[in-house]
Structure 1
Amino acid sequence: MPEMEPSLEPDPLADVLHLLRLTGTFYCVPELTAPWGIAVPDLGDQLVLVAVTEGSCLLQLKSGAQFCLRPGQMVLLTHGQPVDLKSYEESTLTPLFDIPATRHTPQFETMVFGGGGDVTRMTCGVLRVDHAAAGHLTGLLPEAIFLDGFEAASGSWVQSTLNYLAEEARHPKPGGETVLTRLTDILVVQAIRSWLENGDVPETGWLAALRDRKIGRALQAFHRAPQESWTIETLAQQAGMSRSAFAARFRQMTGEAVLQYATRWRMQLAHRALKESDRSLAEIAADMGYDSEAAFSRAFKRVLGCTPGAARKA
């Protein structure tokens, strides 16, 4: 008989990372010569990656956290907060949008700035997430994640990727923008994955529920098909638990009742669909498992505090 392949354990956290669809809103490759200083403003609830490929950079957050980045090192800012980038502690800061840059496409630019001294090159990306699951995850991340490409835990490919970014930045080739943006996206995912594997991840809450062998299976099933007519009983079956034990453990870990969580999740998905597509209310309601627009609209207003129509216009 042919040898059976080992079955893989369900990994709901991997599912969430798979849903981490990133949309790059802005990419920049600066060439900076000391002394230089850049004041980056609040960029909204977006992810900001700063990866140094040559020279060094002092990165300072308003919270007081500080990183001195060398080639092969990067910081992911998870909530788009203001940050100062400098060559030296005493460097004078210039607002980011006051610095001349060469815009190559609406989303990609290069920049040459500074006093003519030692050179620092970086790759920077500003990205947003495009799925409720991923948005829930990024909301739980620390304000900054540091990743060192030279650390064995990060994998040698991270350093190779940064070296490749540096080469593309120094010697642009046809398709170079696509290479830079896609590799930047990959590094963002790797930074988050590194934190999940090695960081100070909470032992309670949503992430802990995803990691729980039983509750995680139920969450994975729901996240994969939120439009299905899930009940406490059917989700408990996914978890391999009794209805009462599942409901109690789910609330203990997530802080929400099972069906309250399911409704809120669906409404988050619906809100994004209303904002980013021209699909009809009836179509979106059906996608979320509702038989009528009226029932969907009532649930939407109860959870999000406004009607679907008002959400679409906002």
Structure 2
Amino acid sequence: MDALSRLLILNAAEGSIDKNCHLSHDWQLPHAAGDLAVIRWHTVTEGGAEVELPSGEIYTLRPGRVVILPQNSAHRLSQKGEALTFIVCGSLQLQPSARYFLTALPEALWLAPDADSTTFRWLQAAIALMQQESSADRPGSNLLCSQQGAALFALAVRDWLTHNASSEKNVLNLLLHPRLGTVIFQMLEQPSHPWTVEALAGRVHMSRASFAQLFREVSDSTPLAVLTTLRMQIAAQALSRDSRSILLIAESVGYASESSFHKAFTRAFGCTPGEYRKRVQALGQPG
């Protein structure tokens, strides 16, 4: 069995459809940041919608496209165009331990197969089946919706891996690696630890040079660059969900200086930690 299949089976998700309705008249649906072990996804079967994230990214939903939010980030759905919109929103519940796996994914995954592909035809049929089963009280309906939702997630993760194989943001390839996965897990579990390349190499019984070379081959990045990426992602999750001061959040991800944390966070997200927190709060409220 391949590594991605093993990881997805280990983190088996239970899913459901949470909203399945027609919307009109300049509608908006705000969503606050939620449980880190829950994945949310959205699609439309008629009309169009926009999905806005704290990073400032905006995704346009049309029939045959699905946006998946592995970290349950704050976001706002709003009308796109004048047509009546039929929106389908779902969620996938994972075990609490899955938060490390989900943090290795980007804030949003985008599943938009070509219109003439088998995946596109399956996607249309799967969404229709989930709509039907969610509105029917029949034996096995919950399982069918859950399995189809899990398949959406698996396809989106695989597509992202395929198209971002050499990106430094693709931490999942490292997490899936039989040797380097150990150090990525430790970075995720202890982001405040003063990690060095030597210390990380020692965790997998490698020399510093061999470790750095293998890391570069797998990720096209360096251990400390990936550590920074993970620290910023964990900090963003904290800014979205608790009221601790920015200094305390900075310390929780390994920064003794608030100014150095500000600089690193601004490079990663294009805004300061305080601005990010305000965006999150705004997205969770009616606009």
TM-score scaled by length of structure 2: 0.55
Look up the SS of the partner of 2:135 in the other structure. Answer: helix
- 1:313 is matched with which residue? 278
- Mapped to 1, the partners of 2:215 and 2:209 lie a distance apart of 10
Q: Which structure dedicates a bigger proportion of its chain to strand?
A: 1
- Mapped to 1, the partners of 2:144 and 2:137 lie a distance apart of 16
Return closer, same or farther for 1:245/1:128 CA change in 2, 3 Å cut-off: same
For residue 235 of structure 1, report the CA deviation from its aligned partner: 1.7
For residue 250 of structure 1, report the CA deviation from its aligned partner: 1.5
What letter matches 1:14 in structure 2? Answer: L
What letter matches 1:42 in structure 2? Answer: E
Residue identity (%): 23
1:257 pairs with 214, 217, 222, which one? 222
1:46–1:78 contact (8 Å) kept in structure 2: no
Of structures 1 and 2, the one scoring higher in RCO (CA 8 A, sep 6+) is 2
1:17–1:189 contact (8 Å) kept in structure 2: no
For residue 143 of structure 1, report the CA deviation from its aligned partner: 2.6
Return closer, same or farther for 1:95/1:252 CA change in 2, 3 Å cut-off: same
- Mapped to 2, the partners of 1:311 and 1:245 lie a distance apart of 38
- 1:40 is matched with which residue? 48
1:227 and 2:192 correspond: yes
- Mapped to 2, the partners of 1:249 and 1:95 lie a distance apart of 52
Return closer, same or farther for 1:199/1:270 CA change in 2, 3 Å cut-off: closer
- Mapped to 1, the partners of 2:91 and 2:59 lie a distance apart of 5
- 1:190 is matched with which residue? 151
1:48–1:126 contact (8 Å) kept in structure 2: no
2:215–2:221 contact (8 Å) kept in structure 1: yes
- 1:133 is matched with which residue? 104
1:169 and 2:135 correspond: yes
Look up the SS of the partner of 1:134 in the other structure. Answer: coil
What letter matches 2:198 in structure 1? Answer: E
For residue 259 of structure 1, report the CA deviation from its aligned partner: 0.9
Return closer, same or farther for 1:299/1:39 CA change in 2, 3 Å cut-off: closer
1:21-170 pair list within 5 angstroms: 27-28=19-20, 38-44=46-52, 59=63, 76-78=66-68, 95-97=83-85, 124-125=88-89, 132-135=103-106, 138-139=108-109, 142-144=111-113, 166-170=132-136
- Mapped to 2, the partners of 1:22 and 1:269 lie a distance apart of 24
- Mapped to 2, the partners of 1:16 and 1:294 lie a distance apart of 41
1:284 pairs with 231, 237, 249, which one? 249
For residue 19 of structure 1, report the CA deviation from its aligned partner: 11
Return closer, same or farther for 1:20/1:242 CA change in 2, 3 Å cut-off: farther
1:299 pairs with 264, 268, 273, which one? 264
- 2:284 is matched with which residue? none
- Mapped to 2, the partners of 1:16 and 1:277 lie a distance apart of 31
1:211 pairs with 150, 170, 176, which one? 176
- Mapped to 2, the partners of 1:305 and 1:199 lie a distance apart of 22
Look up the SS of the partner of 1:42 in the other structure. Answer: strand
Listed as ranges, the gaps of 5+ residues in structure 2 are: 23-44, 70-74, 94-98, 114-118, 280-287
- 1:87 is matched with which residue? none
Larger CA Rg, structure 1 vs 2:
1
For residue 132 of structure 1, report the CA deviation from its aligned partner: 3.8
1:10-21 pair list within 5 angstroms: 14=7, 18=11
- Mapped to 2, the partners of 1:188 and 1:198 lie a distance apart of 16
- Mapped to 2, the partners of 1:171 and 1:15 lie a distance apart of 28
Return closer, same or farther for 1:200/1:218 CA change in 2, 3 Å cut-off: closer
- Mapped to 2, the partners of 1:290 and 1:12 lie a distance apart of 35
2:212–2:222 contact (8 Å) kept in structure 1: yes
- Mapped to 1, the partners of 2:206 and 2:178 lie a distance apart of 11
For residue 190 of structure 1, report the CA deviation from its aligned partner: 3.2
For residue 260 of structure 1, report the CA deviation from its aligned partner: 1.7
For residue 76 of structure 1, report the CA deviation from its aligned partner: 4.2
- Mapped to 1, the partners of 2:230 and 2:9 lie a distance apart of 13
Return closer, same or farther for 1:78/1:285 CA change in 2, 3 Å cut-off: closer
For residue 198 of structure 1, report the CA deviation from its aligned partner: 9.8
- Mapped to 1, the partners of 2:13 and 2:238 lie a distance apart of 16
Look up the SS of the partner of 1:310 in the other structure. Answer: helix
For residue 305 of structure 1, report the CA deviation from its aligned partner: 4.5
2:201–2:207 contact (8 Å) kept in structure 1: yes
Tell me how many residue pairs correspond in the alignment. Answer: 225
Return closer, same or farther for 1:261/1:167 CA change in 2, 3 Å cut-off: closer
- Mapped to 2, the partners of 1:284 and 1:12 lie a distance apart of 34
Look up the SS of the partner of 1:241 in the other structure. Answer: coil
